[in-house]
């Protein structure tokens, strides 16, 4: 018998650009600077902590909300860094990565017919999460070029149906980091409303040049209406573990856990115990800005002379570039075609910024990931320097 006909819940969703470009990179032996993951291992002490947890017999279900010691460590970190006291029993939950946390937060707090403001360009899981909740994503573009929040546009997008706004700082894909003044402006804008803030802060420890990450936890007016989402995978170079966390006021967290217990119930036990033990030393995350700033600076210096123009990179481990200054035939390519050409002909994979916009707008921008070993970055830079000096029409 044929498979019964069905109506897709996400009819416009196909294979992600990250999967597509990674497969193309593998096919052509390209250096993969597209998908955002390190090609180096996490701290050996963290790996040993996992082994210790396994040997200690931490192999059965943990509490639904997460191992208490890990929730306590997260609460201590938030208090130390941002000055906000969180109850680890009622206000912190361990998740199966940040993407699950985003989906769970939306399903728990957003209802059919609601509207959620998202700021473009944005991570590709935001809108599908909103659609699965039966709500509508209202897209507001960040300021072109600088990618800073446009508060006049955000204010104009607010309606009686607006339930939440999704904020991402440090920002993927552009590397923009919100300032204290911008967070205060957001708080003032939302003050007369009941709009929630869903704060994607997975790159919280990748902020450069002496700047401070403006977590919603630093701003009481936002924290009281906010869901803070972060990722151990990004912080500790273990993206394959898919462990993250959410911090939110008890009333919001109670609703979050109602959904969490039925879409994952709980998260990998030995990894939680290992992370709790590892977090006793704050140095690994406190030293992360300097670690990645060195890579950023080395990568940016290496791009000089390639014909690629550098956009600002205030945070994250992504560098966006403009290829408008390359040979005319190359510069005329749409972003997706340029990234495919770069992968096939130059041997370096990138992600088109157009993939982060619902309308696929082309601005001649591409995103490169510098969370790689120095030798990986040097290999990519050598290929870019060899091939991207403007030298006439595309062959």
pLDDT digits 0-9 by tens, 107-155: 999 999 999 999 999 999 999 999 999 999 999 999 998 999 999 999 9
Closest of 11, 257, 20 to residue 128, by C-alpha = 11
Q: How far apart are CA 110 and CA 107, in angstroms?
A: 6
DSSP structure class, residue 229: E
Query: What is the chain's percent helix, strand, coil content, to nearest 5?
Result: 45, 15, 45
Of all residues in the chain, the percent with pLDDT exceeding 70 is 98
Given a contact cutoff of 8 angstroms between Cβ atoms, the answer to whether 268 and 241 are in contact is: yes
Confidence of residue 395 (pLDDT cuts 50, 70, 90): very low
CA dihedral 85, 91, 96, 102 (to 10 degrees): -90
Q: How far apart are CA 173 and CA 337, in angstroms?
A: 18
Could you tell me the domains of the chain? Answer: 17-42+286-387 (3.90.1150.10), 46-284 (3.40.640.10)
Per-residue pLDDT, averaged over 29-58, amounts to: 96
Token pair of 386 as six digits: 């060899």
Q: DSSP assignment of 44-57, as one string?
A: HHHHHHHHHHHHTT
Q: How far apart are CA 368 and CA 174, in angstroms?
A: 10
Q: How far apart are CA 366 and CA 339, in angstroms?
A: 7
Given a contact cutoff of 8 angstroms between Cβ atoms, the answer to whether 267 and 94 are in contact is: yes
Per-residue pLDDT, averaged over 238-246, amounts to: 97
Closest of 73, 109, 63, 58 to residue 252, by C-alpha = 109
Confidence at residue 156, expressed as pLDDT on a 0 to 100 scale: 98
Closest of 259, 220, 276, 249 to residue 58, by C-alpha = 276
Q: How far apart are CA 369 and CA 349, in angstroms?
A: 9
Q: What is the pLDDT of residues 55-80, one digit of tens each?
A: 999 999 999 999 999 999 999 999 99
Range of weakest confidence among 6-10, 146-150, 208-212, 223-227: 6-10
The bridge status of strand 136-141 relative to strand 318-322 is unpaired
Residues in the chain: 395
pLDDT at 92 over 70: yes
Mean pLDDT for the chain? 96
pLDDT at 394 over 80: no
Given a contact cutoff of 8 angstroms between Cβ atoms, the answer to whether 9 and 131 are in contact is: yes
pLDDT at 35 over 90: no
Using DSSP, state whether 172 is helix, strand or coil.
Answer: coil
Q: How far apart are CA 103 and CA 108, in angstroms?
A: 8
Per-residue pLDDT, averaged over 31-52, amounts to: 96
Confidence at residue 389, expressed as pLDDT on a 0 to 100 scale: 65
Confidence at residue 44, expressed as pLDDT on a 0 to 100 scale: 98
Confidence at residue 393, expressed as pLDDT on a 0 to 100 scale: 47
Q: How far apart are CA 28 and CA 384, in angstroms?
A: 15
Per-residue pLDDT, averaged over 270-291, amounts to: 98
DSSP structure class, residue 286: H
Per-residue pLDDT, averaged over 359-369, amounts to: 96
Residues paired with 196 in a beta bridge: 164
Per-residue pLDDT, averaged over 174-197, amounts to: 98
Furthest C-alpha separation in the chain: 64
pLDDT at 39 over 90: yes
Determine how many CB atoms are found less than 10 A away from the CB of residue 262: 10
DSSP structure class, residue 89: T
Confidence at residue 14, expressed as pLDDT on a 0 to 100 scale: 82
């Amino acid at each position: 018998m044929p498979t019964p006909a069905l109506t897709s819940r996400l009819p416009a969703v196909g294979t992600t650009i990250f999967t597509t470009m990674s497969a193309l990179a593998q096919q052509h032996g390209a250096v993969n600077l597209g998908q955002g993951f390190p090609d180096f291992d996490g701290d050996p002490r963290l790996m040993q902590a996992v082994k210790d947890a396994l040997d200690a017999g931490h192999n059965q279900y943990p509490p639904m909300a997460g191992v208490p010691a890990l929730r306590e460590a997260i609460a201590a970190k938030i208090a130390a860094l941002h000055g906000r006291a969180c109850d680890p029993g009622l206000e912190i939950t361990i998740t199966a990565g940040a993407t699950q946390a985003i989906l769970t937060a939306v399903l728990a707090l957003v209802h059919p017919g609601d509207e959620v403001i998202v700021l473009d360009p944005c991570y590709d899981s935001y809108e599908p999460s909103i659609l699965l909740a039966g709500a509508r994503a209202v897209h507001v573009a960040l300021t072109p070029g600088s990618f800073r929040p446009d508060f006049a546009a955000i204010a104009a997008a607010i309606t009686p149906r607006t339930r939440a706004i999704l904020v991402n700082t440090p920002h993927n894909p552009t590397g923009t980091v919100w300032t204290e003044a911008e967070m205060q402006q957001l708080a003032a804008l939302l003050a007369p409303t009941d709009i929630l803030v869903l704060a994607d802060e997975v790159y919280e420890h990748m902020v450069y040049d002496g700047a401070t990450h403006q977590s919603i936890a630093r701003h009481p007016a936002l924290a009281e209406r906010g869901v803070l989402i972060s990722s151990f995978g990004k912080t500790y170079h273990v993206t394959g573990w898919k462990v993250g966390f959410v911090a939110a006021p008890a009333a919001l967290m109670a609703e979050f856990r109602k959904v969490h217990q039925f879409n994952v119930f709980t998260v990998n036990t030995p990894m939680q115990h290992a992370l709790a033990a590892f977090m006793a030393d704050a140095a690994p995350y406190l030293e992360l800005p300097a670690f990645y700033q060195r890579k950023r600076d080395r990568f940016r210096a290496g791009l000089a002379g390639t014909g690629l123009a550098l956009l600002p990179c205030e945070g994250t481990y992504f560098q966006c570039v403009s290829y408008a200054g390359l040979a005319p035939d190359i510069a005329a390519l749409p972003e997706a075609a340029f990234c495919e050409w770069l992968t096939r002909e130059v041997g370096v994979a990138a992600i088109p910024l157009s993939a982060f916009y619902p309308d696929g707008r082309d601005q001649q921008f591409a995103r490169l990931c510098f969370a790689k070993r120095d030798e990986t970055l040097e290999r990519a830079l050598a290929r870019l320097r060899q091939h991207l000096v403007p030298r006439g029409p595309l062959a």
